[in-house]
Each structure stands twice: as C-alpha cells, then as structure tokens.
Amino acid sequence: MSIDNLFNPEILILLGFLFIGGVLLLFLISRNFTAGIYLWLLAVLFFKYNRITIEGSMLPDFSIDRMLFVMLMFIFAAEALVRKRRIFSFTAIEYSMFLFCAFAVMSMIYSGFIIKEGGRLRIGELLTGFILPFFMFFAAKNTYDTYEKREGFIKFMIAIGLYLSFTAVFEHFRIEQLVFPKFILDPGFGIHMGRARGPFGQAAVNGTVLGFALASSAYFTFNYRRSRLWRFFSFALLVLTPAAIFFTYTRAAWLGALAGFAIIMTVGLKEKQKAAAIVLTLLCIAVVLGASFFMDTSSAELALDRTRDQSPVYDRLNLYIASINMFASSPLSGVGFGKFSDNAPDYFENVSGIPYQDSEIKQHDTFTAVLAEMGLAGISLILCIFISILSKSIKLYRRLSVSNSAERRLVVIFWGFMAVYIVNSVFIEMRYFEFVNAIFFVFAGLICRREMEYADKAY
C-alpha cells in the first residue's frame, strides 16, 4: 500500500471542505481561535502527506492542513481588522522572524533555488520550518488571553501524548488492529520502520513530541487543586511515555526528554520538594518496571545496537565539517537557503581521527544548517529569536509571585519544552516537521503574551 493511494484527490478535497466546515462551525459556536489552532495541528498530524499537485501552477502542493492554515490566517486578519482581538506590538522576536523569512526568500532567488523543475515554487521547507510556525507564534501571542486557554494547551499536549504513547506501544508489540492511522504500518511510508515512529513516519520526530508530552505531564501532577481526571491522565503519561520514548530507539529523543524533565524536576525540587520527589520516584519506578516488562530479547538487542552504532555519529561529524567549510567559503550570507545537499559533496573533507563518510548529504542539525546556508546573517536572526523568547520567559517567571504557582509552573514546563526542542534540533533538521515547530512556537507565543501583559501592568 502506497501513501499516495490512501486518499484519491476527490476524497482529499471533500475531507478538506469537511475540515474547513468544522472549523467554521467551531468558531461560530465557541468563538475561540485556539480551537482552530488545535484542528490545524491535528490536520498536520494526520493529513500532512496527503497532497494534490496542481499541474501548471507555481503554487505549492495542495493539502488539508494548508487549506486550513490559509483559512485561519484570513479569520485572524479579519478579527484584527474589526478590532475583535488585541494585537500586541512587534518585538525583537517578530522582527527577527520577518527578516529571517525575507532573507531566506532573497537567498533562494539569488541562488536560483526558488523555482524547481516544472516551474513551481520551491518553498516547502521555508513554509514548514519557519513561515507556518512563526505565524503560529504571532497568532498564539494574540490569542491565549485567559488562564483557561493556556491550560487548554497543556491538555491538548497531554491528549496527544497519550495517543502517541499508546500508538508506540502498539507499534512495538505489533498490535496492528489498534494502530491508527493504518499508514503507520506501511513500510513505504517514511523511515525507521521497526521503531516507534507514529503518524510522523520518523522515530526522531515522534520522540521529540513524546518529550514534549512528558514535560506536559508535570503540570497537573504538581497541581493538586486542578481536575482529578487530568491528574490521572498525567500520571498515565508518566508511566507510558518513558517506554514510548525508549521504543523510538533514538538517542536524541532519549537525551532531549531527559534534559527537559531534568529541568522541570530541578526547579520543582526547589519550589515544591515533596511533589517533585513523588513525581521523580514514580517516574523511576515506571522506567524500572517498564524495562523489565517491555524489554524482550529483540528490544534489548535493538537498543544496544542503536547505542553502539557509531555510523550516525560519524555522519554528523562529517556533515559538521562540510558545514564549517561552507560557512568559511561564504561567512556572511551562506551558500543559499535549501542548497546544503546540493553543495555538500564539494565541502566534505577527510579529517584525521574521524572516519570519512560522505553518503549522507542531508543536514542533521537545524542550527548548523542555517549557519551553512545563510551565514552569520541567518544564524544571528535565529539566535535572536530563541534568546529573546528565553529572556521573556525568565522575566515572566520573575514577575510572577510565589503564590501564583500554576502560572510559574507553566513557565517551567515551557523551559522543559525548550530543552527538548533544542536538544533534538541539534541532531534533527527540524525544518521539515511543522508539527514540532508549531507546537514549540505556539507555547512560546502564549508565554511571551503573558510576559507582555505583566510588563504593561508594571507601567
């Protein structure tokens, strides 16, 4: 079964209209833009790879999630024009995002990369890696105006985490009847068959989102005054997610989840020692029990093989060397956005002490890719975005009083998200995965909004 045959064009168009109709109905009933954001994320999760190419058009491929995104943009713009929603002024974050995207477009035009064979625009990577997530940051910053909406984001992440965790377990034990969607089982879909890869078709990306989910579980676990149902879901996530992350057999996912949860535990131990100790103990018990229960011979062998396999390490080291050489050849503006793979063979170098490998020509580091393709101009803008977001989150944490524990906890969980995202970005080229990027930037947007609200009160 090929992924291209899962939906024919007519069914895809029908599903697109149904999704858009559902969004409009939700807006009419709830008048809550966050519902549209979640529907778009679900469309990306389940329909990202079901696309129609419009022959003779310069436009990118047509898909449900992209239709939905355009509609959300129009609704957001319309609400802003009629002054239905408050629009916060631009900060260094938004200016850097705009300049980065503009520079990337100019870079593609200058290098001749913007038009591909057939005369169509080659902007897919720019859309999924930057334009869509950056818009979601701006939308979230001007949408999440109540505590209930901010808490709703955590609930959404817990629900996604439970789905992905159960799916990972079903994939591992080959309980195919319970795997949804069925294209996850298709060997022709994505990569990493045999590992927990979920609807992303990629184990590393699945592990990244599971790391987000693990961080999200701390919100209700630490908060005894909130819903018992969501606390139960959070504890279930604490038990399931470590095993699910393990089944991705991806070292970056393991390291990212550990880093994110360690940050949450470290701050939690300072602020609420008893709760943090209980959570940490439960997690350790879950990991030990999970290891003894889930670890059959094949699992142990695969985990050991992945741990011992140095080939991906050497691939990345050689890619780093090629990236540095690219940067050295054009330090200010790089070799051109999206041009890394085309140029990589010319920049590999045999360095003493590092086994030479040149079979992998796709970048595996989000930040190094920007440095090589867009030089100092591009990496400076990206670093400005992340440093400014982190700075605003720290300012918000300091502005919040100790009595406002739930809001402070939300900031700490965001730090966990940021650790997961950055660690995995060092080992994965994230520009291809808008779901991961959008999740991070939606969370960043709601945190930055809260900081600006407190800053306004201070003045």
234 and 108 within one domain:
yes
Q: Three-state DSSP class for 37?
A: helix
Report the amino acid identity of residue 252.
A
Number of structural domains, the chain?
2
Q: How many residues does the chain have?
A: 459
172 and 40 within one domain:
no
What integer best gives the mean pLDDT of the chain? 84
Q: What pLDDT sits at residue 3?
A: 44
Q: What is the pLDDT of residues 122-171, one digit of tens each?
A: 888 899 999 999 999 999 999 999 999 999 999 999 999 999 999 999 99
Domain interval for residue 307: 100-459
Closest CA to 91 of 456, 457, 448: 448
Distance CA 17, CA 19 (A): 5
pTM strictly above 0.85: yes
Q: What is the pLDDT of residues 204-225, one digit of tens each?
A: 999 999 999 999 998 887 776 6
Q: What is the pLDDT of residues 92-122, one digit of tens each?
A: 999 999 999 999 999 999 988 887 766 667 8
pLDDT value at 375 more than 50: yes
- Select from 52, 85, 118 the last residue of a domain: 85
Residue 383 lies in a domain: yes
Q: Is the dihedral of CA 148, 151, 156, 159 positive or negative?
A: negative
Average pLDDT rounded to a whole number, residues 18-40: 71
Residue 93 lies in a domain: no
51-52 and 120-121 as β-strands: parallel, antiparallel, unpaired? unpaired
E strand map for 70-229? 115-116, 120-121
- Give the residues across from 121 on adjacent strands: 115
132 and 34 within one domain:
no
395 and 418 within one domain:
yes
Q: How many C-beta atoms lie closer than 10 Å to residue 192's C-beta?
A: 17
- Select from 38, 53, 85 the last residue of a domain: 85
321 and 195 within one domain:
yes
Distance CA 129, CA 107 (A): 16
For 149, counting Cβ atoms within 10 Å of its Cβ (0-12 exposed, 13-18 middle, 19+ buried), the class is: middle
111 and 80 within one domain:
no
Residue 90 lies in a domain: no
Judge whether 444 and 389 are in contact, CB under 8 Å.
yes
155 and 27 within one domain:
no
Q: What pLDDT sits at residue 397?
A: 94
Distance CA 275, CA 169 (A): 28
19 and 152 within one domain:
no
Residue 357 lies in a domain: yes
Report the amino acid identity of residue 412.
V
Residue 242's contacts (CB-CB under 8 Å, 6 or more residues apart) are 214, 257, 283, 286, 287, 290
191 and 128 within one domain:
yes
14 and 137 within one domain:
no
Average pLDDT rounded to a whole number, residues 35-40: 89
Residue 110 lies in a domain: yes
70 and 113 within one domain:
no
- The dihedrals phi and psi of 63, each to the nearest 5 degrees, come to -150, 165
Residue 91 lies in a domain: no
Residue 317 lies in a domain: yes
Q: How many C-beta atoms lie closer than 10 Å to residue 457's C-beta?
A: 8
334 and 241 within one domain:
yes
- Select from 35, 61, 85 the last residue of a domain: 85
Q: Which is more confident, 175 or 114?
A: 175
pLDDT value at 30 more than 60: no
Q: Which two tokens stand for residue 56?
A: 């003779």
Residue 94 lies in a domain: no
E strand map for 335-434? none
Distance CA 424, CA 418 (A): 10
